[in-house]
Amino acid sequence: METAEIARRFLSFFEKNGHTVVPSASLIAEDPTLLLVPAGMVPFKPYFLGQRTPPFETATSVQKCIRTKDIEEVGKTSRHATFFQMLGNFSFGAYFKEQAIPLAWELVTTPVADGGFGIDPERLWVTVYLDDDEAAAIWRDKVGVRPERIQRMGMEENYWSMGVPGPCGPCSEIFYDRGPEYGVEGGPEADENRYIEIWNLVFMQYERGEGGDKSGFPILGDLPKKNIDTGLGLERLAAVLQGVDNIYETDIIGRVLHRAAELAGVRYGDDHGQDVLLRVVADHVRSAVMLVGDGVKPGNEKAGYVLRRILRRSIRNMRLLSGTDTAYMHDLTAVSIDAMKDIYPDLADKADVIHGVIDTEEAGFADTLRSGTTLFTRAAERTRHAGGTVFSGSDAFQLHDTYGFPIDLTLEMAAEQGLTVDETAFRELMQRQKDTAKADAKAKKLGNADVSLYAQLLEGAGATDFLGYTDVLSESAVRGIVVGGVSSPAAREGEKVEIVLDRTPFYAESGGQLADTGTLTVEGRAVVDVEDVQKPLPGLFVHRGTVRAGEIAVDDTVHAAIDTGRRHAIERSHSATHLIHSALRNALGPSAGQAGSENSPGRLRFDFTADNALGESRLSEVEEEVNTVLSGDIAVRTEEKTLDEALKMGALAMFGEKYGDRVRVVEMSDYSVELCGGTHVPSTARLGIVKLLGESSTGSGVRRVEALVGVDAFRRLSKESALVGRISEQLKSPREELPERIDSVVSRLRAAEKEIERLRAAQVLQAAGSIAERARRHGPALVVAEQAPEGAGGDELRALAADVRGRLGEAEPAVVALTAVPKDRPVVVIAVNKAAQKAGIKAGDLVGVAARALGGGGGGKPDIAQGGGTDASKVDEALRAVEARVAGA
């Protein structure tokens, strides 16, 4: 029975028994205490906790789940998987044990022809909690399970809670007997490898207090309502009903696994180590597809890190299996989407997005692996040569810091070479880097002063009066001076200084708008160049700069003057940001919310929430809309209102901003209305033009557009026009015909490159005859072991090895070992004839010998196999190792 049919039957059975079918919730958990959904009951948790009133008394679902707690065990056992689906039926006070138990038994044992799963009752055992006599009696008297098939277990196995105070209760589980070939008799308490759990029925009837996770907590009393929460693992049941050994061989996961084996040139079942790698790939690719389908993007935090980790494990395992750096994820992703779409049809609609995210991550990780693996190999060799078994924390940190190597990958690679990693030292270095980064950021924005010093300045001098909305000049009094992180009565020429004024026209960096620069002048005595302005505390403006001449002191009166050219350029960028935000919302809908911005002189960047790229055509539409609006010379009005008034009039609140009772509203007619504390142009015509430079991704669900404004935009367009003119002149083609002309040139170039590749391959194959003539006997076989002609890649190498093998015939055992170094990565191909295979010489064994010498791995079939490594200097050593192995065969 196919997996999709199992899910359909489950939902149909419970729907016929009065349950509401509820679609699977997203893998991204709404529960703030969870990262991803780890169990089928999670979407119903608010109903069980009484936080919400359920819209139905009973429900049934097929819930997508992700668990990464035991990720290291994935592939090693038949039970562990990162992504799985939990079939469940739920009751919110409508029924309890006396109905839940018979329903489960009925569905499991009803013949297939009658809509059930058709499992022989004689293959089933059940467990109940130690003192749950009620459940045991129902199984025995109402269902008819023989008493010897009912076993009692303790809290570790048969009692459920969320691990925190709240609902809890005993469980009853159904186990399937896989047969004597899987272990000893005696039921689940004797052997859980032979007897596997397929269904867990939780009787949620008590409230627990503080205590341990699985046991050791007090029972505080009964719940107001007794609830049912059951979970049947879809993949486990599929393995049972499809008669396969484990979940990785079922119809859906198995399709990915066997395609991975085919792509890698290996066969599932031939080698345990390879089988584990294949199972990890199959599980992780499916998990990645489902995570991306639910909107997760690879990143370094939270769900994004989970996705990045499982994708990188998949990519690296495929490289180990195939011995090449070929990109396989696109193919495997397509297989997984096709296998899962019967249960989740939306995957087909999201296929382009899923492919785009996974392909991009694979390409990025390829660069990480290429550079990082070389460093890892050298460090590991250094450790072994020194007689050590611990990979240093400093080397692990360098891999992470310089090459982006995740610590999990370093741990795996070290374990493969029999090494451990000094994780304690690694964590200490990571923490030291974080502390340094925080200190650097603080120094950049606030000098080296302690925040308590700014608190004293604010208390003593009072809040700074900001005049910058209307004035660019002011006469101000110096209320405080900080030099070298401490308060000072004065600052002299050449010193870095921080100055607090009673009032200022200088805008302090906030809301994405960069700070003003300018000068503070003490008439006839001192000049300070203001390079930055920050607000370390609300209301306190700190002017950072350098004393250019003279001496400035507390209580001096200064002439404060901002750089008006810079201010006006920043204002143009800031106003353009508001227009771009509105145009994006018009194009994408209200979901395109601001996620950050930076407004600098003549240039801006704007981050917004979106799942997919805009595309060139939509980006052009946004740019055209913005320029159309600003050319209308719309007045930019600002007004102060209460927060409630501003929100009622439709003003947008910006990302990351905190608002008081009174807010500033910036209006550009009804096209753009936003809460904003920044400065702006008086009318949109002041912007001149806005040129969008492009759009990119900055992380999970966040896109970024960058733009030039005013004169900067004009200069960019002028340069582009001149460049187009030069190309037009060189190609002797009118500007309007350039796209077709360039396409034609590129097409001819690609055709020429393909022809060159064809000729190079032919040239490589021409060497087959002379290579075969150089065969020499080593032990029982003729052996050719040498480097292929220059220009050979992996495909050419395989073809050449097969050709040489054919020329050596079948009269006696023959082995062909050829190497090449395309793109500075050594590759080895081993081909053996049938006579050699009969003599016990296998290509897969020999390629492992060569690949290990190269610092890598490989695999393949008995007649031909391929591997690779990272150390091109060891090519001759690898060939000699193959000769030695054959000689000793």
| pLDDT tens track for 790-808 | 767 777 888 889 989 998 9
Mean pLDDT, range 175-192, rounded to an integer: 92
258 is in an annotated binding site: no
Q: Residue 46 corresponds to which amino acid?
A: P
Cβ distance 508 to 468 under 8 Å?
no
CA distance 36 to 294: 11
Residue 860 has pLDDT above 90, yes or no: no
| Per-domain residue ranges of the chain | 3-248, 253-362, 447-562, 579-717, 774-887
pLDDT at 442 over 70: no
pLDDT greater than 70 at residue 32: no
CB count, 10 Å around CB of 790? 10
pLDDT of residue 754: 84
Q: What is the pLDDT of residue 532?
A: 95
Contact 582, 671 (CB under 8 A): yes
pLDDT tier, 437 (very low <50, low <70, confident <90, very high otherwise): low
Q: What pLDDT score does 819 carry?
A: 92
- The neighbouring-strand residues paired with 89 are 60
What is the rounded average pLDDT of the residues 485-499? 93
Which strands, in side-by-side order, build the sheet including 662-668? 636-642, 662-668, 672-675
Cβ–Cβ under 8 Å, residues 632 and 684: yes
Mean pLDDT, the chain, integer = 88
pLDDT at 325 over 90: no
β-pairing, 857-860 vs 219-233, is unpaired
Q: Is 400 annotated as a binding residue?
A: no
- 71 pLDDT exceeds 90? no
pLDDT for 660 equals: 64
Is the predicted pLDDT of residue 626 greater than 50, yes or no?
yes
Among residues 446, 370, 434, 352, which one has the least CA distance to residue 397?
Answer: 434
Of 95, 72, 74, the closest CA to residue 84 belongs to: 74
512, 517, 522, 527 alpha-carbon torsion, rounded to 10°: 140
Helix (H) / strand (E) containing 200 = strand 195-208
Checking if the pLDDT of 830 tops 70, the result is: yes
| pLDDT at residue number 479 | 94
Pick 3-248's CATH classification: 3.30.930.10, 3.20.20.60, 1.10.3720.10, 3.40.1670.10: 3.30.930.10
Could you tell me whether strands 465-466 and 503-504 are parallel, antiparallel, or unpaired per DSSP bridges? Answer: parallel
Q: Which amino acid would we find at residue 558? A: V
Per-residue pLDDT, 485: 85
Task: Convert 201-213 to b/e letters by CB count within 10 Å (16 or more is b).
Answer: bbbbbbbbeeeee
Which CATH class, in words, describes the domain spanning 579-717?
Answer: alpha beta
Lowest mean pLDDT among 49-53, 71-75, 117-121: 49-53
Q: What is the pLDDT of residue 382?
A: 84
* Per-range mean pLDDT, top range of 95-109, 206-220, 459-473, 827-841: 95-109
Q: Give the whole-angstrom CA distance, residue 73 versus residue 476.
A: 68
Question: Between the CA of residue 217 and those of 62, 158, 206, 690, what are the distances in Å?
Answer: 31, 15, 12, 64
Q: What does the alpha-carbon distance between residue 386 and residue 382 come to, in Å, rounded to a whole number? A: 6
Can you say whether the dihedral through the CA atoms of 773, 778, 780, 784 is positive or negative? Answer: negative
The pLDDT of residue 448 is: 47
- Rounded to whole angstroms, the Cα distance separating 190 from 155 reads 17
Q: State yes or no: pLDDT of 446 exceeds 70.
A: no
pLDDT of 656 > 80? The answer is no
d(CA 323, CA 318): 8
CB within 8 Å of 156: residues ≥ 6 apart = 214, 215
Helix, strand, coil shares of the chain as percentages rounded to 5? 45, 25, 30
Q: Residue 372 has which token pair?
A: 């990082």
Whether residue 356 has pLDDT greater than 90: no
Cβ–Cβ < 8 Å for 690, 580: yes
Average of per-residue pLDDT across 205-213: 81
Collapsing DSSP to helix, strand or coil, 125 comes out as strand
Nearest to 562 by CA among 539, 602, 526, 528: 528
Question: Around Cβ 298, how many Cβ atoms within 10 Å?
Answer: 27
Express each pLDDT in 572-625 by its tens digit.
999 999 999 999 989 888 778 787 889 999 999 998 878 678 888 899 999 999
Of 657 and 342, the one with more pLDDT: 342
Question: Which H or E run contains 639?
Answer: strand 636-642
Beta carbons of 457 and 539 less than 8 angstroms apart: no
Weakest mean pLDDT among 166-170, 281-285, 502-506: 166-170
409, amino acid identity: L
Q: Rounded to 5 degrees, what are φ and ψ at 119?
A: -85, 135
Say whether pLDDT at 758 is over 60.
yes
pLDDT 10s digits, 688-714: 999 999 888 776 567 899 999 999 999
pLDDT of amino acid 770 = 86
Using an 8 Å Cβ cutoff, are 33 and 49 in contact? no
The per-residue pLDDT for 309 is: 85
Nearest to 108 by CA among 96, 99, 98, 121: 121
HSE of 510, CA atoms in CB hemisphere, 13 A: 20
Residue ranges with strand state E in 109-233: 124-129, 150-153, 159-161, 166-177, 195-208, 219-233
774-887 folds as: Diaminopimelate Epimerase; Chain A, domain 1 (3.10.310)
Q: Which CATH number fits domain 447-562: 3.30.565.10, 2.60.40.10, 2.40.30.130, 2.60.120.10?
A: 2.40.30.130
Q: φ, ψ for residue 533 (rounded to 5)?
A: -135, 130
What is the separation of C-alpha 728 from the centre of its chain, rounded to a whole number of angstroms?
A: 43
Angle (CA) 157-161-164 rounded to 5° is: 130
188 and 128 Cβ atoms separated by less than 8 Å? no
Supply the pLDDT for residue 294: 87
655 pLDDT tier (thresholds 50, 70, 90)? very low
Tokens of 114: 């009658």
Strand 702-709 and strand 159-161: the pairing is: unpaired
Q: What span, in angstroms and rounded, lies between the C-alpha atoms of 872 and 825? A: 6
At 673, the pLDDT band (50, 70, 90 cuts) reads very high
Res 98 pLDDT > 90: yes
Q: What is the pLDDT of residue 450?
A: 55
pLDDT reported for residue 614? 84
CA distances (Å), origin 793, targets 127, 774, 815: 59, 21, 20
* Distance of alpha carbon 636 from alpha carbon 643, whole angstroms: 20
Q: Judge whether 270 and 861 are in contact, CB under 8 Å.
A: no
- Same fold: 447-562 with 579-717: no
Of 609 and 31, which is predicted with more confidence? 609
Does the pLDDT of residue 130 top 90, yes or no? yes
Q: What pLDDT sits at residue 440?
A: 47
Residue 527 · residue 550 · CB < 8 Å: yes
Distance between CA 639 and CA 675 in Å, rounded?
10
**Weakest-pLDDT range from 84-98, 280-294, 857-871:** 857-871
Could you tell me what percent of the chain has a pLDDT over 70?
A: 94
- What distance in Å separates the CA atoms of residue 181 and residue 245, rounded to the nearest whole number? 11
The answer to whether residue 735 scores a pLDDT higher than 50 is yes
- The CB density around residue 92, as the number of other CB atoms within 10 Å, is 22
680 is in an annotated binding site: yes
What DSSP line would sit under 351-363, residue for residue?
HHHHHHHHHHHHH
**CA separation for the pair 577, 674 (Å, rounded):** 11
Average pLDDT over residues 764-784: 87
Percent of the residues in the chain that have a pLDDT greater than 90, as a whole number = 51
Contact assessment for residue 654 and residue 608, using Cβ atoms and an 8 Å cutoff: no
